[in-house]
Amino acid sequence: MSAKAKNAAIKSRPDFPVAQARRYLEPGPIVLVSSHHEGRDNIMTMGWHMVMEFTPSLVGCVIAPSSHSHRAIRESGECVINIPTVALVDKVVGIGNTSGADIDKFEHFKLTPEPSRVVRAPRIAESHASLECRVHDASLAERYGFFILEVVRACAAKAPQNPETLHYQGDGRFMVAGKVISRKGMFQPHML
Amino acid sequence: MSAKAKNAAIKSRPDFPVAQARRYLEPGPIVLVSSHHEGRDNIMTMGWHMVMEFTPSLVGCVIAPSSHSHRAIRESGECVINIPTVALVDKVVGIGNTSGADIDKFEHFKLTPEPSRVVRAPRIAESHASLECRVHDASLAERYGFFILEVVRACAAKAPQNPETLHYQGDGRFMVAGKVISRKGMFQPHML
């Protein structure tokens, strides 16, 4: 792909309030976590994450202590959670089945590292949304590989409004979510 | 619905190995958490959860300290995570918008409490899968409402093989996941 065509494929992604990170994370999609440490960028595929609080905007996640990204995120104190759509499924799988110790994943998987606004880890320009994060609490990192991250900046493409996302089941299988149903009228206002 | 018709609607749900709980939880569906405390059953709707380990089978989740279920689960040390399909959406929303302090949710929402195998909290018979859990680590329960649960017994309906599940986005909207795509051939065997 030419640089021009590649740039055309990358959408503008305006910022949105970090308290709304749940919109992208709570449905439980597989995500790509980008990091920067000792002069190198890296990416990992992550399925074990959850929203923990709106304000501050907290996200819990497990990153195996044996992974290249664990040390990078722990020592740099930063990362970006990127939400891919179904179009990126083969890159998501490829990234999950290789190690940043062996290859430059941005180069190998032809993804574009885009400068973040407030952290040094790059955003993945081809992803639908990117959440810049700082490590908020690593007290259970040793025992469970568990980190609590704070989302400090967030951006998302405006279209499509309901992108299809990937939800990993194990054994190489992903559920695809896309259709949206609303029951807003049944909610108490303070529960929305 | 007559008792007979109701029983016919409840499927047999054979046990499966607890290490495979990810199959149901990692895609990130909204779940119903049932508990039993001081002689009463209760149910809450939960969207903030994640897989943390295969063996032991650990699940992290946030249960607001202000909720009726928080105290029940903390004091009894047990609960059941039930995975509903899209057919139960109105009950899921109703349960999330009411408190067990005011009503008996099993009775109000016409759900069937089914005795669990190893915990006292009941399983919800109408759900697709049920994971019986014991509290494994409550060290961050005070600070974040965060519990690490261990799945000690698990069962699931055999059909449908790929049920449609609900994935909450906030603002009363759920994504629906159902379609499954496989990339098993692209995985390194030890990564499956």
pLDDT at residue number B3: 56
Nearest to B48 among A52, A170, A187 (CB): A52
Would you call B172 and A186 a contact, using CB atoms and an 8 Å cutoff? yes
Sign of CA dihedral B185, B186, B189, B192: negative
What pLDDT does B6 receive?
56
Query: Architecture of domain B17-191 in CATH?
Result: Roll (2.30)
A100 interfaces chain B, CB cutoff of 8 Å: no
Q: How many CB pairs under 8 A join A and B?
A: 180
Nearest-CB residue to B181 (from A47, A176, A180):
A176
**Distance in angstroms (rounded) separating the CA atoms of residues B175 and A122:** 28
Q: Of B189, B136, B38, B179, which Cα lies nearest the Cα of A146? A: B136
Q: How far is CA A118 from CA A21, A113, B56, B152, in A?
A: 16, 14, 38, 42
Task: Write the DSSP symbol of residue B64.
Answer: -
pLDDT in tens, chain A (192 residues): 455 555 555 779 999 999 999 999 999 999 999 999 999 999 999 999 999 999 999 999 999 998 889 999 999 999 999 999 999 999 999 999 999 889 999 999 999 999 999 999 999 999 999 999 999 999 999 999 999 999 999 999 999 999 999 999 999 999 999 999 999 999 999 888
Please say if the pLDDT value at position B180 is more than 80. yes
The pLDDT value given to residue A100: 86
State pLDDT tens for residues B40-81.
999 999 999 999 999 999 999 999 998 889 999 999 999 999
> Residues A43, A100: contact at Cβ < 8 Å?
yes
What order of strands is seen across the sheet that includes strand A146-156?
A40-46, A31-37, A78-83, A129-137, A146-156, A58-62, A49-53
H or E element, residue A34? strand A31-37
Give the pTM: 0.94
* Min Cα–Cα distance to chain B from A79, Å: 19
The answer to whether the CB atoms of B50 and A27 lie below 8 A apart is no
Q: Is there a cis peptide before residue B160, judged by omega within 30 degrees of 0?
A: yes
Res A1: pLDDT: 47
B178 in reach of chain A (CB within 8 A)? yes
Structure tokens at B115: 């005795």
CATH number of the structural domain A14-191? 2.30.110.10
Contact A175 B188 (CB under 8 A): no
pLDDT for A97 equals: 94
pLDDT, mean of residues B86-92 = 97
**Region B103-113 average pLDDT:** 97
Residue bearing the bigger pLDDT, B26 or A7? B26
CB A34 within 8 A of CB A40: no
Can you give the pLDDT at residue B2?
53
Q: Mind listing the pLDDT tens digit for each residue in B38-49? A: 999 999 999 999
In sequence order, what E strands does B18-145 have?
31-37, 40-46, 49-53, 58-62, 78-83, 113-114, 123-124, 129-137
Determine which helix (DSSP H) or strand (DSSP E) holds B89, and give its type and residue range: helix B89-96
How far is residue B116's CA from residue B127's CA, in Å, rounded to a whole number?
Answer: 13
Tracing tokens 């905007």 back to the chain, one arrives at: A57
**Contact present, A121 and A34 (Cβ < 8 Å):** yes
Q: Give yes or no for B51 touching A (CB within 8 A).
A: yes
Higher pLDDT, A6 or B187: B187
Mean pLDDT of all residues in B146-167: 97
User: How close A190 comes to chain B (CA, Å)?
Assistant: 9
